[in-house]
Structure 1
Amino acid sequence: MNWVQLAEEVLEGKLLSNDEALAILHASDDELLLLMQGAFTIRKHYYGKKVKLNMIMNAKSGYCPENCGYCSQSSISTAPIEKYPFITKEEILAGAKQAFENQIGTFCIVASGRGPTRKDVNVVSEAVQEIKEKYGLKVCACLGLLKDEQADQLKTAGVDRYNHNLNTSEKHHDYITTSHTYQDRVNTVEIAKQHGMSPCSGAIIGMRETKQDVVEIAYALHALDADSIPVNFLNAIDGTKLEGTKELDPRYCLKVLALFRYINPTKEIRIAGGREINLGSLQPLGMYAANSIFVGDYLTTEGQEENADYALIRDLGFEIEVNEKQAALQA
């Protein structure tokens, strides 16, 4: 397969066939650099060498009634994690200040649970209004299954983006969780879209799915027209259903990132959870397909030191994308 030629066809509007998509995941390691060159051809066309930074604020930890097999916060998990109820507006604002100072472009307010309460939505809404005024950050909320009136309130408050990951293919979904359906997840993304929030939805790779499942989730996100696609690589936490699962290697993770770029050429591809342990020393190569990363810690697991992420971007010759207020602060 001529990967660069295929990338050029994608830029002309081609949607990969299923066989072409699978060929990316089955590509020989000897072809890896050529595959990444093709992915970078697409990435550079739409995003140049800009990198978007994201930071997660874990607004509520644990106490989740869902039975997701990958999650340390689920009802079936015995992982020894810190648990706390929804944090205050002041704590959210303190996180946003840190994000602003660290050149973060998107501040992500994330909470465990099936869906938010009225009080949760009120706290987020009040905090977001101040965040927009003080820091000009793009705000992404990830609060679980969403109702119309909640989506309307969040959008009115200034939430730019709503995240709800599909996580895996529809046919593999019941292996991961049975306390909600795949369609429940699709519906929440659609509700966010209907109320004017940018849809963010992604996948978790390495949950004992097949390569065909990976291809199907990439196509599903294309069909959903998600603006931002976080690609997580499973960090199998002791005490979860997927404890001990270790299916990934850095080269395969790069092929997955390339696949998502080829199938979703215009979208923000974000390397998300599990980046550090699964890509390892090949993390820089991931940026030739992705144009966005998370900086700092995740929900219940640690990321690498922030300085290492900034050095990675600098050493690649890439540039962090900042907002007007951040640019003025640097001037």
Structure 2
Amino acid sequence: MIINAKSGLCPEDCGYCSQSIVSTAPIRKYTMLDKETLLAGAREAMERKAGTYCIVASGKGPTDKELDQVVEAVKEIRRTMPLKICACLGILKDEQAERLAEAGVHRYNHNLNTSKANYPSITTTHTYDQRVETVQKAKRSGMSPCSGVIIGMGETNREIVEMAYALRELDADSIPINFLNAIPGTPLEKAGRTPPMKALKVLALFRFICPTKEIRVAGGREVNLRSLQPLALYAANSLFVGDYLTTEGQDVQADHAIIEDLGFEIELNALSS
């Protein structure tokens, strides 16, 4: 489960994001949530049977004050709840990665998003190589590296294959596969949806190229996979429950029903076993 710990107020120009400086989407904007709100989110994640709680913040990277707030909340969550914690706070400095790892963050997410060749058409305020470097810093600090993609941003089929091999080369433990949910007010608002069968092929491709990794069905699954959502879990082994950053997700009971109807079981509270 994701919590949008800081919304909007971002100086980056990512074309897919409603929180970017170039977006006119009518979203909530607020600074970093306080410790108690982050703790309440963790308790909600437990109620939704999520195994991992993802603390996500807009911006190029965290300030020292923002990092302090996250670190304090993480320490308390680790002390009181059997949740894995993922942080997604943007581009990190080495010392910031080390602080998060010491606080008890299990995993750090920083998506590659698209291919290296397509990257300049998506954002100009940071580079593809900076994203790769952040994933590597997270890995060096001892956190599990999480990095994925957003399908549907003008990339070619060959570039989708290149993304999968790039993530295998990075040795990302967890790979979230997002499908663009084109938000009005963003530069990519007129981008079409990924056809459901193509979305399934993408998931199968990433499973084939990264056979031992956690493949996550992430943002945009509801509007792109549509009625084929259940089939995604034959290639993927994880999905997000609840809402995303600024878009609504499917009802959590519907997600639980998909898993149950397929004959799968939810892995609960892995840290307590």
TM-score range, shorter chain: over 0.9
Output the amino acid matched with 2:247: T
**Structure 1 pair 152/325, CA: closer, same or farther in 2 (3 Å)?**
closer
Which of residues 84, 96, 110 in structure 2 aligns to 1:164? 110
**How far does residue 208 in structure 1 lie from its aligned partner after superposition?**
1.1
Between 1:80-89 and 1:316-325, the stretch displaced more is 316-325
Q: Where do 1:20-59 residues align within 5 Å?
A: 55-59=1-5
RMSD value over aligned CA atoms? Answer: 1.0
Kindly indicate whether structure 1 or structure 2 has the higher relative contact order, using CA contacts under 8 Å at least 6 residues apart.
1
Q: Give the secondary structure class of the aligned counterpart of 1:319.
A: coil
Output the amino acid matched with 2:157: K
1:8-32 CA-partner distances (Å, limit 9, x unpaired): xxxxxxxxxxxxxxxxxxxxxxxxx
1:177-214 CA-partner distances (Å, limit 9, x unpaired): 01000000000000000000000000000001110111
1:104-143 CA-partner distances (Å, limit 9, x unpaired): 1000000000000111111111111111111110000000
Output the amino acid matched with 1:122: D
Cα distance in 2 between the residues matched to 1:325 and 1:262: 28
**How far does residue 326 in structure 1 lie from its aligned partner after superposition?**
7.2
Cα distance in 2 between the residues matched to 1:196 and 1:177: 29
Which residue is 1:262 aligned to? 208
Q: Give the secondary structure class of the aligned counterpart of 2:225.
A: helix
**How far does residue 324 in structure 1 lie from its aligned partner after superposition?**
5.4
Contact 1:112 1:144 in 2 (8 A): yes
Which residue is 1:51 aligned to? none
Q: Where do 1:1-331 residues align within 5 Å?
A: 55-323=1-269
Q: Give the secondary structure class of the aligned counterpart of 1:257.
A: helix
Going by fraction, where is helix more abundant, 1 or 2? 1
Contact 2:182 2:188 in 1 (8 A): yes
Cα distance in 1 between the residues matched to 2:183 and 2:193: 14
Contact 1:208 1:247 in 2 (8 A): no
Cα distance in 2 between the residues matched to 1:158 and 1:106: 13
Contact 2:84 2:271 in 1 (8 A): no
Structure 2, unmatched stretches of 5+, are none
Percent identity between matched residues is: 66
Q: Give the secondary structure class of the aligned counterpart of 1:287.
A: helix
Cα distance in 2 between the residues matched to 1:324 and 1:172: 38
**Structure 1 pair 286/118, CA: closer, same or farther in 2 (3 Å)?**
same
Q: Give the secondary structure class of the aligned counterpart of 2:56.
A: strand
Output the amino acid matched with 1:115: G
Which residue is 1:48 aligned to? none
1:144-181 CA-partner distances (Å, limit 9, x unpaired): 00001101110000000000000000000000001000
Output the amino acid matched with 2:198: Y
Matched residue pairs, number?
273
Cα distance in 2 between the residues matched to 1:269 and 1:324: 17
TM-score, with length taken from structure 2: 0.98
Q: Give the secondary structure class of the aligned counterpart of 1:155.
A: helix
Structure exhibiting the larger radius of gyration computed from Cα positions:
1
Superposition misfits of 4+ residues, deviation over 4 angstroms: 324-327
Cα distance in 2 between the residues matched to 1:135 and 1:101: 12
TM-score, with length taken from structure 1: 0.81
Contact 1:164 1:188 in 2 (8 A): yes
